[in-house]
């Protein structure tokens, strides 16, 4: 009984007590007890990231090192994007695919040296990804899971760069998008990467668990006078949706390929042979049958589409009228209205196409839109 009780226990990040103290509402997220919102609430948190700066504890994400003198061969096999040949200091977004072309996970590879990559993976996929790495790297490299030793804090928003740069003594302003460096922020040694999941500029800071509270408190102290807030998983989701960044488990899974998900830019097929490349090449040649589209609920409709709602065509009289499914959806907290993502047949995927979404028994019109719902100013 003791053993099973312990295994049921939810995992906590090193910042759990800090979240409690801030009055966060904690929920179960993939076995982790994580803040879904703080007392400010999701709308204020969302706005703080768009207009000032927000701090996110994303320590539940997995961190894995791949090391060895043949590591590039292993990485070349695993990744859809050009990761192996990236320059040292570069961070690369990539998919990990099955031989079928379905997605195992989406993640960022950080090239530490020619013999070492750091991979940051989705929390809910950490176990699966580790197994995948161990199985598929065929002893070409060492797979070292440091997830339980590392904390990860994202600092995002228009005021994030200057704020963190100041705490790092001016060492970070020169770091360009999708690069990273070893640095010291507020006395804490960490890896700073100019990456994020909000549609804003910012950093993600990876440090040892032991230093996480010190770093978090220094960041919070610097952010508060700027109008910054700690941000829960609720606003993290509404922010990434406006920026049209896919969420694994919703918009990506092993049944859909990156090409269908509109992530062709992260699939480099030319002259390459990686797990899933044959299937993706064949799919590209044959053309896509379905695509992930962005949609906006038509103005004046009092409805919000949520994940799992069917996309229907009532003109279909024989068989099921369901032609697709909403994979992400909610209010456009900053852009207004109600927005979402969903898979539809490719002939319904063009911008301007009207879709019908069955919102709990009510047929609601929506229109396919291209591009991000939110683009940050100057981009």
Contact residues for other proteins (CB under 8 A)? 36-37, 41-43, 46, 234-235, 237-238, 302-304, 306, 330-331, 333, 360
Residue closer to other proteins by CB (options 209, 250) is: 250
Q: Who contacts 326 (Cβ-Cβ below 8 Å, separation ≥6)?
A: 305, 306, 307, 308, 309, 310, 311, 340, 341, 342, 357
H helix or E strand, kind and range, residue 131: helix 126-136
The beta strands (E) that lie in 277-332 are given as 290-297, 310-312, 322-331
Instruction: Compute the half-sphere exposure of residue 236: CA atoms within 13 Å on the CB side of its CA.
Output: 20
Task: Answer yes or no: are the C-beta atoms of 50 and 40 closer than 8 Å.
Answer: no
Q: How far is CA 115 from the centre of its chain?
A: 26
Cβ nearer to other proteins, comparing 156 with 238: 238
Nearer Cβ to other proteins, position 229 or 267?
Answer: 229
131 or 299: whose CB is closer to other proteins?
299
Which is nearer to other proteins, 80 or 238 (by Cβ)? 238
Q: How far is the CB of 338 from other proteins (least distance, A)?
A: 8
Structure token pair of residue 304: 């919000």
The least CB distance from residue 273 to other proteins, in Å, is: 42
* CA gap 333, 1 in Å, rounded: 45
How far apart CA 228 and CA 326 sit, in angstroms, is 32
Residue 105 burial by Cβ neighbours in a 10 Å radius (0-12, 13-18, 19+): buried
- Rounded (to 5) percent helix, strand, coil in the chain: 25, 35, 40
For residue 362, the minimal CB distance to other proteins (Å) is 8
- Shortest gap between Cβ of 295 and other proteins (angstroms)? 17
Distance CA 103, CA 106 (A): 7
Nearest distance in Å: CB 132, other proteins: 30
Q: How far is CA 185 from CA 59, 182, 356, in A?
A: 17, 10, 49
Of 27 and 288, nearer to other proteins (C-beta) is: 27
Give the shortest CB-18-to-other proteins separation in angstroms.
21
- Based on CB atoms, which residue is closest to other proteins, 101 or 331? 331
Q: Could you count the other beta carbons within 10 Å of the beta carbon of residue 369?
A: 16
Contact 151, 207 (CB under 8 A): yes
Work out how close the CB of 223 gets to other proteins at its nearest, in angstroms, rounded to a whole number. 21
**Identity of the residue, 26 or 71, whose beta carbon is nearer to other proteins in the bound complex:** 26
Check: CB of residue 312 under 8 Å from CB of residue 363: yes
Q: 337: which residues sit within 8 A by CB, 6+ positions away?
A: 296, 297, 299, 331
- Asked if residues 246 and 106 have their Cβ atoms less than 8 Å apart, the reply is yes
Q: To the nearest whole angstrom, how small is the minimum distance from the Cβ of residue 354 to other proteins?
A: 21
CB of 235 to other proteins, least distance (A): 8
* Nearer to other proteins (CB atom), residue 314 or residue 360: 360
Q: How far is the CB of 304 from other proteins (least distance, A)?
A: 5
Q: Which is nearer to other proteins, 24 or 92 (CB)?
A: 24
């Amino acid at each position: 009984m003791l053993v099973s009780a312990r295994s049921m226990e939810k995992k906590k990040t090193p910042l759990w007590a800090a979240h409690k103290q801030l009055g966060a509402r904690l929920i179960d997220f993939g076995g982790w007890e994580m803040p879904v919102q703080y007392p400010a609430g999701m709308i204020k948190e969302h706005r703080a990231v768009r207009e000032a700066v927000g701090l996110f504890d994303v320590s539940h994400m997995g961190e894995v090192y791949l090391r060895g003198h043949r590591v590039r061969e292993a990485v070349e096999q695993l990744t859809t994007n050009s990761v192996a040949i990236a320059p040292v200091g570069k961070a690369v977004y990539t998919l990990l695919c099955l031989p079928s072309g379905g997605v195992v996970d989406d993640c960022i590879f950080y090239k530490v040296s020619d013999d070492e990559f750091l991979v940051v993976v989705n929390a809910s996929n950490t176990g699966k990804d580790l197994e995948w790495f161990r199985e598929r790297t065929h002893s070409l490299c060492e797979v070292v899971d440091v997830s339980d030793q590392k904390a990860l804090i994202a600092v995002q928003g228009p005021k994030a760069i200057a704020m963190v740069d100041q705490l790092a003594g001016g060492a970070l302003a020169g770091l360009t998008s999708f690069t990273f460096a070893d640095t010291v922020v507020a006395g804490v040694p960490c890896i700073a990467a100019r990456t994020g999941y909000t549609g804003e500029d910012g950093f993600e800071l990876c440090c040892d668990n032991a230093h996480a509270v010190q770093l978090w408190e220094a960041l919070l102290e610097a952010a508060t006078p700027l109008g910054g807030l700690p941000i829960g998983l609720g606003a993290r989701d509404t922010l990434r949706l406006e920026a049209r960044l896919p969420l694994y488990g919703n918009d990506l899974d092993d049944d859909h390929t990156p090409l269908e998900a509109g992530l062709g830019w992260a699939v480099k097929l030319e002259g390459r042979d990686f797990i899933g490349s044959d299937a993706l090449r064949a799919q590209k040649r044959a053309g896509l049958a379905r695509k992930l589209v962005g949609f906006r609920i038509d103005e004046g409709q009092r409805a919000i589409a949520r994940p799992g709602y069917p996309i229907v065509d009532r003109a279909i009289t024989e068989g099921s009228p369901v032609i697709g499914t909403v994979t992400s959806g909610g209010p456009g907290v900053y852009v207004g209205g109600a927005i979402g993502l969903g898979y539809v047949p490719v002939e319904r995927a063009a911008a301007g196409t009207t879709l019908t979404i069955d919102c709990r028994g009510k047929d609601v019109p929506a229109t396919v839109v291209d591009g991000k719902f939110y683009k940050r100013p100057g981009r």
